[in-house]
Structure 1
Amino acid sequence: MADTATLVLPEWTELASKSGLDPLGMQNSGILLYQALLPGISNVTLRVRYYGLYSWLSWIYAQRVGDTNLKSWQRFVRRAEALYALVAYQRGGETGVAGVQWAQTKLTNKNEEVIAFADDAEPGSPTHYLVQAWGAYGAAYASQLFDAGVYSQAKGHDLPVPSREIGEGLACAFDQELGPLAALLFEVIERGSVTRSELDTLKPITPSGIRIDSAERQLYQDMLFAHGELQRPPDIERRHTLLLILRLAEQLNRTPTSNDVRWALYAGADKSDNALTFEAGELEAQRQRWAIYQLNDLTHVCLEALLKYALDTLGEYPAGLTLARLIGIAVDGLLGTQESATENWAALLKATALPANAWSSAETMNESALSERVMQVARAVTLCKASDAWAALQLLAIVHQRARLARDGVSAAFGSLDQSAFRSLYTEMRFLDQHEQLSFRDFVGQLIEERVIRRHMWIALRKFRFQGDYTFLFETDEGVVRVRAKDGPVFTNPRLSPAITFLDDIKLFSGAGLSALGRALTGTA
């Protein structure tokens, strides 16, 4: 039976062999929250000047080409992106530019003065600069250009047009900033070839070429911080998040990392125990929403670590185990790490002190320290031992207490989601609350069986049924379960890294934290 089942079931796809598969179906709830907290930016929109480039491309295309055929627009965009990659590679030192690996090959393998790129920009070309049919525009930027209000829908055709509120001004500012280079840029895109000397001439168009005193730079700032005509609720959410990043940079006296922002907003303090000084109001409320996002992330990391523990425990038995036997062995291992018995989950909560600072480098049992230990087992080749699983339970106990203190915020963030489809901090709190008086052995057994193993099997079945992806980590055969593959805990990636890069692109940071422009935005100039 096992061999037959293996033959008829789909093999793992390339996607399914990677980590980050959301094996418990809990990451989507966090993704929905961070998308609301930082709209108009995504994890693959890597440089803010692309927003100006695309607004200019649609503007100049309407003026000089005017063909509403989507294929014509697609070809124009792809040629522009390929050229942008060539210019960026020629300049050197640019990051976040799509197609630079192709550009490197193109420019280093041939010594010709004229570089032809039209064929490489054709969709489906074997020498493509990017495999995606619509390039970086379709894969990354188009949706965010609409979300940020740079693009709007036109009447009578399907091509995007620069919006009246933001896009038109940004396109004109980009054009004015380029000056005579704008005509050359359009000419080279249309021509589909470029000389090396023209690549040098076009260097000012690259992402790091935004001038500090330019109207273009100011318009990016107005877009990001909703200081122009568009001040919709999502725009205000983005403004508040970006202001939090700037205020943190001011306190740290350096440009923060994504991890800095995540943990500081959660803890309300920096690693040196200096409290964040946000006055009560909109910024503090936004900080608390980011803290709830982090609570949700920590929750699924704990449960994903328990999944890894169950998989590694089962891996010691190549012939497989019944599910009941697996649960029993896993629970025995966990309880065996403790010198004295724990009565129930409620008793563990009572015995677990809340750390004063969740991010303090001086503490060894706070959320930051415990999550670092839990994440050490993320790789498939690293065994999750019973002591590691116990650390996940300790972390979950702290998270549960924090969530109780923020119950209204948790409910506001996740309570309206379809609870049958979206598992979140909200649903897991209910489980923990409802089962806190069970004997600890029964509690841990139910947690691993219901919230981890059976939940994973249900999620994997839905992915197989609706997406065709075979992501089961367990395989079953006549009542016996065996390991098929392994996956470990994964934090979601909440768009903070590109947001920080955007702020750096528009000159809001300096070596000591904030630049004069950044201080002016935060009101501390």
Structure 2
Amino acid sequence: MNNWGDGFPEWTELGQDSGLDPLGMQRPIEAIYQSLLPGISTITLRYRYYSFFSWVLKYYEDNIRNTDPAVFRVFQRRCETLFALICCRGEQELGIAGSDWAHRMLGEISGQTGAALVDFSVGADPDAEISLRYLRNKGGAFGGIYASQMLEMGLIIIPDQEQDNPIPICTERALPLAAAYDSELSSQARTFFETVEMGAVSISTLDMLQVMKPTSIRSYSDEHRLLKEILLGKSATPSTADVMRRSTLLMLLELADVREGILRGEDAKWYWYETSACDGDGAGRSGDSDVQQLWALYQACDLMRLAYEAILSAALTLLEAAPLRRMTLDVLVDELVGFIAPPDDLSWKDYVQQLLSKDEPAAARRHSAAMLDAIASGATADQVKASLLLIAALIDEASDLTALMGNALSAAEHFQSLKSEVRFLQSSNADNARSVIASMIRNRILKRHLWVASRKFRNQKAYTFLMEPEEGVLRYRDHFRVSPSSPRLDQALRFLKDIMLIDDGGVTSLGRAEMSAA
């Protein structure tokens, strides 16, 4: 019987939770990109929500003033449902919270006259049946999506629930934005809140309120100016978050200005990674070189995670195909190492040098693409080979990031990261290559997953095992999707588009003006 070590539970049918972050490598990666784009998340999809919620909070503070969170939640959710209906009427808006519900409600009165009413009171009710709600989350779009990012951007204050007034309020920074949004609506602001109180809206009123849509921001208006200043961190006393966000956004503008076609976040990640060794030249401005280095470190960390997860995915594929979906750990490791077929007479260092001697520029990008293609096509052997080639390329390129890894990757030791894996592999330089690869697969990937899943089960009661120890063998349980992380860059590009600094043709005249003024 295999000795799995302490902390590995035997197989059980308890729970059906999916295995997110199966190797526990996401936390250090998230810490990097969250510091580079504070105030934007992967689910904050439209920038005008920041104007809208500032305005909603100011109205509540001035006119309702009820300190009961339950009263605020009903009001806030009604505002959100009405906003969703406005945005889904006529020209469709992307990234609107509750759009599926809104389209369904509008579909029910399709073809009726402008006096036809949509009752949104039930959909907004946080205690309604889940199937009737516009969003399952009782906190709505504000509580579940935007509040934390508006807090990070310095727009709102969220008091402790124990305080006399626990309702979020606008900061001094947000008050001019709320006033500017109110000015854009003019008399329609009153119509909106009267409709919120009614809980039902006519088609004609929805048409009247189209000015509220995210794409209806007027260029050169006070709201537009304030949104630009807030997003780009323009302040007499900018915070660290403002400075980091501003640097990343200006780098995106500069990159969009020199590239053909629509810039994607994936393009930016690779460009900054591959040009990071050029003393910041890839950033376009010397002042952004540190930020570009952090983006390069983020990408290297994420690629190491992908390579390890691809090997774990290959192990699960072998387990699933095995008799009774079971294999011993030793046999599984041997099969995975066999795909790579390293020579028996080379040290790890010499083997890596042998692999790198065949490489050309942009090796990491090529090996990453080959690895993901192999996963998609089910070519398990090629998947493992490409993963090892990617790891070798990362170990070589990590020398340019050594100092930065020491400062930026400061998570607890139980989080694996580029730093921990570079340290492990470099400390094994003199060891036999086959032994090092086998140890990496056995201890850093397969047993690592069992340890991570065990901690999640013990601490969070979440059952995330993708394979399970069972009487000396590993038993296949489930698969997972290997994919690059999403570091908010596409959302940042969407925000730049919302305030007309970029469009489908690249950087606009407004965007170039911001670049010139930087």
Query: One fold, TM greater than 0.5?
Result: yes
Gaps in structure 1 of 5+ consecutive residues = 359-365
**Range with greater deviation from structure 2 (126-135 or 349-358):** 349-358
Contact 2:371 2:387 in 1 (8 A): yes
Seq. identity, %: 32
Q: Deviations over 1:332-385 (max 9, x none)?
A: 2320xx6x6661221133220496642xxxxxxx22221112113546xx5352
Contact 1:114 1:196 in 2 (8 A): yes
Choose the corresponding residue for 2:445, options 446, 449, 452: 452
Specify the SS of the correspondent of 1:241: helix
1:139-288 aligned at under 5 Å gives the runs 139-153=144-158, 156-164=164-172, 166-229=173-236, 231-268=238-275, 277-278=282-283, 281-288=286-293
Aligned residues: 498
Structure 1 residue 417 corresponds to structure 2 residue 417: no
User: Aligned equivalents of 1:354 and 1:522: distance in 2?
Assistant: 41
Gaps in structure 2 of 5+ consecutive residues = 1-8
Equivalent AA in structure 1 for residue 451 of structure 2: W
How far did 1:426 drift?
A: 0.6
**Range with greater deviation from structure 2 (347-356 or 279-288):** 347-356
User: Aligned equivalents of 1:57 and 1:391: distance in 2?
Assistant: 51
User: Aligned equivalents of 2:267 and 2:10: distance in 1?
Assistant: 47
Structure 1 residue 306 corresponds to structure 2 residue 311: yes
Structure 1 residue 393 corresponds to structure 2 residue 401: no
* Aligned-pair Cα RMSD in Å: 2.3
Aligned to 2:332: 326
How far did 1:205 drift?
A: 0.0
How far did 1:255 drift?
A: 3.6
Q: TM-score, with normalisation over the residues of structure 1?
A: 0.90
Contact 1:309 1:384 in 2 (8 A): no
Structure 1 residue 433 corresponds to structure 2 residue 426: yes
Structure 1 residue 367 corresponds to structure 2 residue 359: no
Contact 2:45 2:96 in 1 (8 A): yes
How far did 1:5 drift?
A: 6.7
Contact 2:37 2:488 in 1 (8 A): yes
Q: Deviations over 1:228-256 (max 9, x none)?
A: 34511111111111111101001114441
Q: Deviations over 1:245-297 (max 9, x none)?
A: 1010011144411111111111129xxx9x96545632121111100000000
How far did 1:522 drift?
A: 1.0
Equivalent AA in structure 1 for residue 323 of structure 2: P
Aligned to 1:40: 39
User: Aligned equivalents of 1:53 and 1:285: distance in 2?
Assistant: 34
Specify the SS of the correspondent of 1:406: helix
Equivalent AA in structure 1 for residue 256 of structure 2: A
User: Aligned equivalents of 2:209 and 2:293: distance in 1?
Assistant: 45
Q: Deviations over 1:27-54 (max 9, x none)?
A: 1110111001110010111000000000
1:44-55 aligned at under 5 Å gives the runs 44-55=43-54
1:502-513 aligned at under 5 Å gives the runs 502-513=495-506
Contact 1:254 1:510 in 2 (8 A): no
How far did 1:486 drift?
A: 1.8
Specify the SS of the correspondent of 1:482: strand
User: Aligned equivalents of 1:78 and 1:354: distance in 2?
Assistant: 58
User: Aligned equivalents of 1:488 and 1:439: distance in 2?
Assistant: 32
**Range with greater deviation from structure 2 (107-116 or 39-48):** 107-116
Aligned to 2:3: none
